[in-house]
Structure 1
């Protein structure tokens, strides 16, 4: 209940503020586990992905935010769960896998930190871990800014990756994460190319 109320309120605020345009949301599977992986350019990214996705999304959040009881309860109410940054947090890994096993959607930013330049950076191994250890559909997403009032913010969802070749081989978590970031980068380049052609 809290998630739906929060999603509605945030959507009312952010859609007109950033003139958000959503492309490809039909690529998000309607059922079954989904690992949704996006580039990371702003603190607004989690709520923007949350309001543009057709599925409810579970996100990791900094563990220290959960130390205060009220805030921790609120965050869990909007489907966030704690992770210890800079560490291999086994509890967070287990909770993420459980979310996928239960058929939900887990949202990740494989870079692990915001890009200061807006360019797509290198991935940490976490996204690869979840992709390989679950049966989730892996959906790439790219956010194209800037986050500026009155500007046009684009959120583009690509088709699920073909995971069979990765899961049937001895792909490492880091290589899998790199492959996911490559898909995100290709999605951005494809969109920009198509937009340029339409403008000519």
Structure 2
């Protein structure tokens, strides 16, 4: 099972490196082992796959519950270690499950904006990432920025890993705000070309 997973990871990595020229910066900043939270911006359907095969194949992702209602997609997202979360309301069930996973030493992936962001401007974020981190005994949060060239068939992706944020207070809203600011800073510092980084459809000069 482990060998099969590693084989698939290698195959998917080779595909993305060849077709999308994926590069990763700051991989050494990831904690050696869990528990920790990966918090990333969300620009495309590729994101969970990219983070899974290039960062940590054991990441358990929150995914919108609509995906689990479609027979074919349900089996795919389950293979990606995803678990459902309702995008309307609080989604307390998913939050409790994420906290449980972290207390078991797992790695949980969260997209704090709650949905895909197509224009590069930061969407209103949800405070769940801060709440989960504090309730799971103040686990580290690793901010991640995903950048991509302007929409193309095989656009280039770049993944930037930021320094882990160690929660030191119980104000989960402030913590979530700090995480989103760090992600924004990572996006703003990246250049996919000599002049700019394209995030979704927006250019950051």
1:77–1:159 Cα change, 3 Å: same
- Superposition TM-score, scaled by structure 1 size: 0.82
Alpha-carbon separation, structure 1, partners of 2:70 and 2:152 = 32
Contact 2:139 2:166 in 1 (8 A): no
The structure with the largest helix share of the pair is 1
1:152 aligns with 2:156: yes
1:3–1:98 Cα change, 3 Å: farther
Contact 1:18 1:149 in 2 (8 A): no
Alpha-carbon separation, structure 2, partners of 1:70 and 1:114 = 21
Q: Aligned-pair distance for 1:157?
A: 0.3
Aligned partner of residue 127 in structure 1, secondary structure = helix
Q: Aligned-pair distance for 1:89?
A: 1.9
* 2:92 match: 90
Alpha-carbon separation, structure 2, partners of 1:39 and 1:148 = 19
* 2:199 match: none
Contact 1:122 1:178 in 2 (8 A): no
Match of 2:106 among 104, 107, 111: 104
Task: Tell me: higher relative CO, structure 1 or 2? Use CA pairs within 8 A at least 6 residues apart.
Answer: 1
Q: Unpaired runs of 5+ in structure 2? A: 196-205
Alpha-carbon separation, structure 2, partners of 1:91 and 1:3 = 28
- RMSD, aligned CA: 2.4
Q: Unpaired runs of 5+ in structure 1? A: none
* 1:136 match: 139
- Superposition TM-score, scaled by structure 2 size: 0.80
Contact 2:147 2:158 in 1 (8 A): yes
